[in-house]
Amino acid sequence: MVNSIKANPSIPGKTLIAKIKSRYGYSIMYKEAWMEKKKAFAIKLDDWDESYNHLPRWLQLVQESFLGTFVEYVTRPFVIDDAQDNSCQILECVFWPFKPCIDDFNYCKPIVQVNKTFLTGKYHGTLLTAIGQDGNHNIFPLPFAIVEGETKVALIWFFRLLRSHVILQQNICMIADRGKTIFSALKSPEVAWKGHGLLLVYCISHIAFNFNKKFERTKSWLVERGTKIECMLRAGHQYLEDITALLRKNEQQSAMCHVQSCNRHNSEFDVQELPIA
């Protein structure tokens, strides 16, 4: 099992259950497979806490290996039972762009796409990234950031560092989703990027997803209406029933008037009121 997890750390529990049954001839519960996966993961790849302890040293080695690499992270003291433990720090967020990526972005297209993905595991969070594109249409990663979530505070922190340490050029086109949080963060006084050398556009895939989510029954509704209209036309009706009823109502209300002349272009009508019989 250790070798299987080393080869594929995200191997599903169902796959482990199938492997154990195939090799040893008996089945285990999903919870047991998950616990064994956790133990094997800790043996081969360190546990979650130890991995976080390696992060400051890893970031320091990155800065030493790629001189000029910018790193910033925010921590807070660990508090238990209203007592603060200064020997233990909790990671709030971390931001790092590799120095070669910062330098080489000058030779890429002035386009940046901001995206995110949710982290899974014992400690949840959100991975933010800004991606450029070179002349061969290849993606070009710029900074990476791990934050608690896609909140306005986190995005302000991300965009402020992105603007001050990575994207120093003017006239940049940024592609993002239509999230109000991103728009609000770019307009905030801490960032003040929207409209100042930055053109914000929206990815059509996000627009299509949001449209389909908002109007998920639109397709079935249009099919239903089309079928209804087709049946009414076959029955000899020129208009829908509700429109026909409205026309009859207006006809009854205007029966005592006679239109002598009209100018549709100027919306002028000469109407004569007929006497009541």
Nearest to 186 by CA among 124, 249, 114: 114
To 10 degrees, the CA torsion angle through 254, 258, 260, 263? 0
Taken in order of first residue, the domains within the chain and their CATH numbers are 2-45 (no CATH), 49-213 (3.30.420), 218-273 (no CATH)
Higher pLDDT, 235 or 92: 92
User: Tokens 């997890």 identify what position?
Assistant: 5
The whole-angstrom separation of Cα 256 and Cα 100 is 83
pLDDT band, residue 98 (cuts 50/70/90): very high
Reference 200, options 266, 135, 146, 155; nearest CA is 155
* 101 or 23: which leads in pLDDT: 101
93-104 burial code (b ≥16 CB/10 A, e <16)? bbbbbbeebbee
> What does pLDDT average to over the chain?
80
Beta strand 172-176 pairing with 198-202: parallel
Counting residues of the chain whose pLDDT is more than 70, the rounded percentage is 83
- Give the C-alpha separation, 33 to 12, whole Å: 9
Instruction: Using a pLDDT cut of 90, give the percent of the chain over it.
Output: 16
Segment among 21-25, 131-135, 179-183, 196-200 with least mean pLDDT: 196-200
Look at 94 and 229; give whichever has higher pLDDT: 94
Of residues 193, 188, 187, the one with CA closest to residue 168: 193
Per-residue DSSP letter, 10: T
Residue 245 has pLDDT above 70, yes or no: yes
Q: What is the pLDDT of residues 15-63, one digit of tens each?
A: 888 888 888 888 888 888 877 777 776 666 666 677 778 888 888 999 9
- The Cα 130–Cα 113 span in angstroms is 5
Measured CA distances, 177 to 5, 75, 199, 210 (Å): 35, 29, 13, 9
What pLDDT was estimated at residue 225? Answer: 78
Average pLDDT over residues 246-271: 70
What tokens appear for 51 in the block?
A: 């991995």
